[in-house]
Every structure is written in C-alpha cells, then in structure tokens.
C-alpha cells in the first residue's frame, strides 16, 4: 500500500508541491513575524525554530486527516469493494492504508526542512535524532489517517467529509503546543491539549530536532503508540461499514 | 456434488424496510458460465455482494464451493475473484503497477509475482500497454485489466457485475473472448450479471432471471426460450381459402397450440417449429393447398426476459412477445 502511494506520487508530483505551499507560508510569514515581536515565550529559542516542528506536524495532520478523501473516492469507484473481497485481512488493509498516508506526510516534511534551513532555523545536527523524529511523524500520521478512515466510513460522501475534515484539523492544530506553549492557553483549552495526541508528537519532534530536551520522549512515544493502536482497532471495525 | 454457488432462501432487507432480496434460491455448477439477468433494481448487485462476502444476508444461507459466505468469509475470499460494476483500478499508475499492487495485497509470493503478472497481461492482451498509465486506457482495456487483477489468485469462481456495461460491441466481444478462454484455460466458473440478452444467450451455459428480489426462472438459454412454447410458423398460401376442415386438422396436430388465419397467411403457434413443420406441411399438401412462403419465428432471450421480468411494454409493439404472452398462458417452467 505504501508502494502504491510512492508510485502514484511519482506519476503526479504536482500535489506534493501544492501541499507544500501552506506550511512554507506558515514558516515564512507567521514564523518570521512572530520571531520579530517576541510575543511568545519560547525558552530562549527563536520563535521560527519553535514552530518548525509544529508546522511539520500540521503538514502531516493535513495529509493524514484528508486521507479519508482518497477512501471516499475509492468507495465511489469499485476499488474498495475489490479490496474487501481480497483474500487479505481487513486489519492489514486498514493499517496499510493508514501507513501509506505516512509516506505522503514524510515527503511533505522533507520539503519543509530545506525551507526552514533557508529561513535560518537551526536543527540539531544528529542523524539518529533526525531519523527518530521522522519515524514519529510517520507513525502519528498513521493514527490520524486511521481516524480519517473512521470518519470516512461513517460519512461516506465527499461533501460531508470535507465539512468534518476541516473541523477536525483546526482544533487539533490550535489546541496543541504546535504554535505556543500549553501554559499560555486558557484552562479549558489546556485540558483539550493534554488529550490531543498532536501535543505529544510536537513535543517529541521538537525535542529531537530543535531543543534537544528529551525528558518527555518516553511518555510521548507511549501516548502516540496507544493512540495508533486505538485508532487502528476502531478503523478496522468501522471499515466494513464504508461500502454499505 | 459440490456446487460452485449454492444459495437457499437468501433475503436482504436494507434500512427503511427496502427488501432487495426476497428469498433467492440458486445453484450454479462448477465450471459453468452463469448469467444473471434482471431489470434495474431487481437485486442482482445485492445478490452478488452477498455472495462475495461484502455484507451479510438478513436471512438464508449461501455456500461457495461448500464454504459458508457468512461464517467462512475469509476462506471464501481465497477462492473468489470479483470485478465490481464501477472501475476498480488506479488510473494514476500504469497497468503493470496496478497488478503489482494487487499481487502484493493478495500476498502472491515475490518469486513468482512478476511471472504471474506478465502471464496475466499476456493472456488479457495487455502486454504492450503494461507500461502506460491506466488513464490512457480505453474502456475495454480497463475491463481487461480488472479481470486480470481478479484472476491473479487464480480463483475458482469469478464474479463480474455487468462486465461489459458501456463498452462498444468490439470491446465487448474482446472481453468475452478473454472470459471464455479463462474458462478453457483454468476451468474458472464465471458468474456475471448483465442487461445484454445476446451476451447471456451467446456466452452462458445457464441463465437465471431475477425480478423483485426473487428468482423467476432459470435454465439454459435454449430451455428458457422453449419454455415460452411460442415458436411461430407462418405459411403464406396463394389466394386460396383454407377451409375449416383443414384448419381443424392442423389444430388437431400434437404440437400445435393454436392457429390463426389472416388474409392469406396461416399463423401456427407451436412448441418447436422445426419438428412441427413437417406435420403442418403434410396436412396442407393433402388438402392440395399451394404454399408460397414459409417463415418460422423463434422467441429470443429478449422475449423470455420480457415474459418473466417485463413490467412495462409499449402498447401495440409488434413482436412475437405479444402473441406469445396471450397464447402461452400461465403454463411456464419454474
């Protein structure tokens, strides 16, 4: 399934570039402006460095949450029916599909990185950290894609899906530590952020790529793994419904 | 003997109490090409999706080569291939890649994968187009690619939901040639639904007609056409009055169902025109009535379809069906 995504992207790269526009704008406009005004306390690191992991996660989140759209399209064609009739377990299909959104997500991240470097973001020059960070991005993408599959299974049509898709992305993104520390938020939003898996992914990637603070890394990984397992299980159960 | 498909009392009620299937019984012999006919909304697709384990019947049971579609779905999926009505290949990769992805999903061993894929492309006549994006394929090529995908695991039975919908006549013939060769080469049972009567007539071993969620009739295409008992012999006689006595003799013949005279033409309804004709001719000859022209009309599968599943018919439409409907009465094979 991941190979499928790579082969599709090889034949049409435009999508990769159009999707890269938004994160690049976040970094180049939002990041640079807020770096100048020093409005947000970031423990001494430049603001643009601070939000780079957040913007990467946002890219991942977009790709993953909208991955359900692919499934809705495949539902309209006969592909999903054929997959469900294939002699492969449904868990394998769901996990394969979820993870293949990770392939797309990682490609987006790899585009954001050189842009960030150009804008003067300083990464920790440790290849091992870098690889672990990418792995975390890949895995969390799978979880969000599975969430997207659940939504697609329940809603079934493109129009309904678009409405919910956007409504999922924005709160997940803003109610997390992607753009500002949780401590700055109002209490209610802090509660949401604590239950938001994106928070943990941002923390892990920020630690690995920018700050080098890995104190919470085991917790982050555990939360992300738990989130993925729950989402995969729920998506496998709901997947059948999509064709009915 | 184990049937390829053996279904009993299948019912499916959708949400809102829409009954798509109302007790379907079906037996399909292994190695047959089986055509499922029926008007839109008759339950063809629902039946096919139950048989391919996509969803469960509300009640009743079905077995594919002895495997229960509800309890042994995983096993069933190992022996079936399925081509849905809608396009089921990715158009943004090429033909070979489509087969490769499906081969991986199906878990074909990597050693033989490439060989199996090229074999399949070869036997579907797509070898030359293997490296082209599917976007550039014609409708017929896409269908053939889909059949190739479904055949990768060499299923014992192939389900096709309206395989030639929207194809031009040449492409339809090409697709059918390939399907027939699969039967020859691998002994694959083929179960397909269609609206094209001539396809069912030409390519199937057996035909079943479904209407309003029920099987209304089944048999070979020949049997079904015979079951109408409505072949016609038209005899034109040269300005000669056929007297009542002669008509009586013809009516008295064993095979004859009815005789009508219009102008100088006798219209004799019989069960089988070829075997009834000599008897009719004998009577006319012994009455010394000169015969100018003889024509026989056999019902087509269209007539069978309309007879069993036709709900609307244009008034005054001149076809054999009209007369057949009146004269064959309610006496038909179940």
pLDDT digits (tens, 9 = 90+) for B221-260: 888 887 777 788 888 887 667 788 888 888 888 888 888 8
Is pLDDT of A15 > 70? no
Question: What is the DSSP code (8-state) at residue B89?
Answer: S
Is A84 in Cβ contact with B107 (below 8 Å)?
A: no
Judged by CB atoms closer than 8 Å, whether chains meet at B150 and A11 is answered as no
Taking the CA atoms of residue B286, residue B289, residue B291 and residue B294 in that order, the dihedral angle to the nearest 10 degrees is -70
Q: Which fold has domain B229-328?
A: Alpha-Beta Plaits (3.30.70)
Q: What is the pLDDT of residue B33?
A: 92
Domain with CATH 3.40.50.300 in chain B: 5-219
- The pLDDT of residue B331: 38
Q: In what order do the strands lie in the sheet with B5-14?
A: B18-28, B5-14, B59-64, B67-68
Residues A152-211: tens digit of each pLDDT: 888 878 888 888 888 888 888 888 888 888 888 888 888 888 888 999 999 999 989 888
pTM: 0.76
- State pLDDT tens for residues B154-195: 889 999 998 888 788 888 888 888 888 888 888 899 999 988
C-beta atoms of A11 and B49 within 8 A: no
Nearest Cβ partner of A8 from B54, B90, B146?
Answer: B90
Would the pLDDT of B320 be above 70?
no
Residue A1 in contact with partner chain B when CB distance is under 8 A: yes
Select from A176, A166, A108 the least CA-distant residue to A138.
A108
- The per-residue pLDDT for B240 is 65
What is the percent of chain A where pLDDT is above 70? 92
Options 2.130.10.10, 3.40.50.300, 3.30.70.580, 3.40.1160.10; which CATH number does B5-219 get?
A: 3.40.50.300
Mean pLDDT for all residues in chain B: 83
Question: Cβ of A8 and B89 within 8 Å?
Answer: no
Nearest to B133 among A11, A243, A244 (CB): A11
- Is residue B315 over pLDDT 60? no
Which residues does A233 contact at the CB level (< 8 Å), separation at least 6? none
Nearest to A3 among B92, B101, B150 (CB): B101
Asked if B54 and A84 come within 8 Å (Cβ–Cβ), the reply is yes
B14, pLDDT greater than 90 = no
To probe the interface with B, which of A3, A4, A96, A239 has the most B CB atoms within 10 Å? A4
**pLDDT by residue (tens digit) across A197-219?**
999 999 999 989 888 888 888 99
Quickly state the pLDDT bin for B35 (edges 50, 70, 90).
very high
Domain boundaries along the sequence of chain A: 2-33+46-243
Model confidence at B294: pLDDT above 70: yes
Structure confidence at residue B231 (pLDDT): 82
Least confident stretch, B56-70, B221-235, B304-318: B304-318
Over residues B61-71, mean pLDDT = 90
pLDDT of A224 reads: 92
Instruction: Write the DSSP symbol of residue A175.
Output: T
How close does chain B come to A239, measured CA to CA in Å?
11
Query: What angle in degrees, to the nearest 10, is found between the helix axes of A127-155 and A90-118?
Result: 130
Put simply, the answer to whether A85 touches B83 (Cβ < 8 Å) is no
Report the distance separating Cα A105 and Cα A107, nearest Å. Answer: 5
- Higher-pLDDT residue of A97 and A144 is A144
| B128 has pLDDT over 80 | yes
Q: Which of B188, B159, B191 is nearest to B31 (CA)?
A: B188
Residue A223 has pLDDT above 90, yes or no: yes
- Contact between A86 and B83 using a beta-carbon 8 Å cutoff: no
Q: What angle do CA B118, B114, B53 make, to 5 degrees?
A: 85
Instruction: Indicate whether A101 pLDDT > 80.
Output: yes
pLDDT beyond 60 at A54: yes
Q: Would you state the pLDDT for residue B326?
A: 36
As a whole number of angstroms, the distance between CA B38 and CA B194 comes to 8
Kindly report the backbone phi and psi dihedral angles of residue B127, in degrees, each rounded to the nearest multiple of 5, phi listed first.
-55, -45
Distance, in Å, from the CA atom of A78 to the CA atom of A72, rounded to the nearest integer, reads 11
State the burial class of residue B56 (Cβ atoms within 10 Å of its Cβ: 0-12, 13-18, 19+). exposed
Look at residue A3 in the predicted model and tell me its pLDDT. Answer: 66
pLDDT at A4 over 80: no
pLDDT at B263 over 90: no
């Amino acid at each position: 399934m991941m190979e499928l995504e790579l082969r599709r992207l090889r034949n049409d790269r435009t999508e990769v570039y159009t999707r890269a526009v938004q994160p690049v704008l976040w970094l180049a406009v939002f990041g640079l402006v807020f770096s100048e005004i020093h409005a947000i306390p970031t423990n001494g690191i430049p603001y643009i460095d601070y939000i780079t992991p957040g913007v990467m996660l946002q890219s991942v989140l977009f790709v993953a949450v909208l991955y359900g759209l692919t499934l809705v399209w495949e539902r309209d064609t006969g592909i999903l029916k054929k997959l469900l009739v294939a002699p492969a377990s449904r868990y394998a299909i769901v996990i394969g599909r979820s993870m293949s959104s990770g392939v797309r997500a990682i490609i987006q991240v790899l585009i954001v990185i050189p842009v960030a470097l150009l804008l003067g973001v300083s990464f920790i020059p440790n290849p091992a950290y870098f690889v672990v960070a990418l792995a975390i991005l890949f895995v969390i993408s799978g979880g969000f894609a599975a969430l997207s599959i659940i939504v697609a299974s329940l809603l079934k049509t493109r129009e309904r899906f678009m409405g919910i898709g956007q409504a999922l992305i924005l709160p997940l993104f803003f109610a997390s530590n992607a753009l500002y520390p949780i401590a700055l938020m109002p209490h209610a939003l802090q509660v949401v952020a604590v239950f938001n898996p994106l928070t943990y992914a941002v923390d892990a990637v920020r630690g690995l790529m920018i700050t080098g603070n890995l104190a919470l890394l085991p917790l982050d990984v555990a939360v992300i793994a738990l989130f993925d397992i729950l989402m995969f299980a729920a998506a496998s159960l709901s997947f059948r419904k999509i064709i009915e | 003997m184990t049937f390829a498909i053996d279904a009993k009392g299948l019912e499916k009620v959708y949400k809102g109490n829409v009954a798509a299937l109302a007790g379907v019984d079906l037996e399909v012999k292994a190695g047959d090409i089986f055509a499922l006919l029926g008007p839109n909304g008759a339950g063809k697709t629902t039946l096919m999706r139950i048989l391919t384990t996509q969803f469960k019947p509300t009640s009743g049971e079905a077995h594919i080569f002895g495997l229960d579609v509800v309890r042994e779905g995983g096993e069933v999926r190992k022996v079936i291939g399925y081509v849905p009505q809608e396009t089921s290949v990715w158009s943004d990769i090429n033909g070979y890649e489509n087969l490769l992805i499906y081969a991986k999903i199906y878990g074909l061993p990597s050693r033989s994968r490439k060989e199996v894929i090229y074999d399949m492309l070869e036997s579907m006549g797509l070898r030359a187009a293997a490296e082209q994006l599917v976007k550039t394929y014609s409708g017929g090529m896409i269908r053939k690619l889909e059949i190739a995908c479904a055949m990768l695991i060499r299923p014992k039975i192939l389900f096709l939901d309206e395989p030639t919908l929207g194809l031009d006549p040449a492409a339809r013939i090409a697709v059918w040639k390939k399907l027939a060769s699969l039967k020859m080469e691998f002994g694959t049972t083929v179960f397909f639904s269609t609206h094209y009567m001539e396809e069912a007539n030409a390519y199937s071993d057996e035909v079943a007609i479904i209407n309003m969620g029920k099987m209304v009739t089944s048999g070979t295409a020949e049997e079904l056409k015979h079951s109408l008992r409505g072949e016609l012999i038209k005899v034109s006689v040269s300005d000669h009055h056929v007297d009542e006595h002669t008509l009586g003799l013809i009516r008295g013949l064993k095979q004859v169902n009815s005789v009508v005279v219009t102008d100088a033409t006798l219209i004799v309804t019989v069960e089988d025109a070829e075997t009834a004709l000599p008897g009719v001719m004998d009577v006319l000859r012994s009455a010394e009535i000169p015969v100018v022209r003889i024509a026989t009309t056999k019902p087509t599968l269209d007539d069978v379809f309309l007879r069993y599943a036709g709900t609307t018919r244009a008034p005054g439409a001149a076809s054999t069906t009209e007369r057949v409907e009146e004269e064959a009465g309610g006496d038909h094979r179940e």
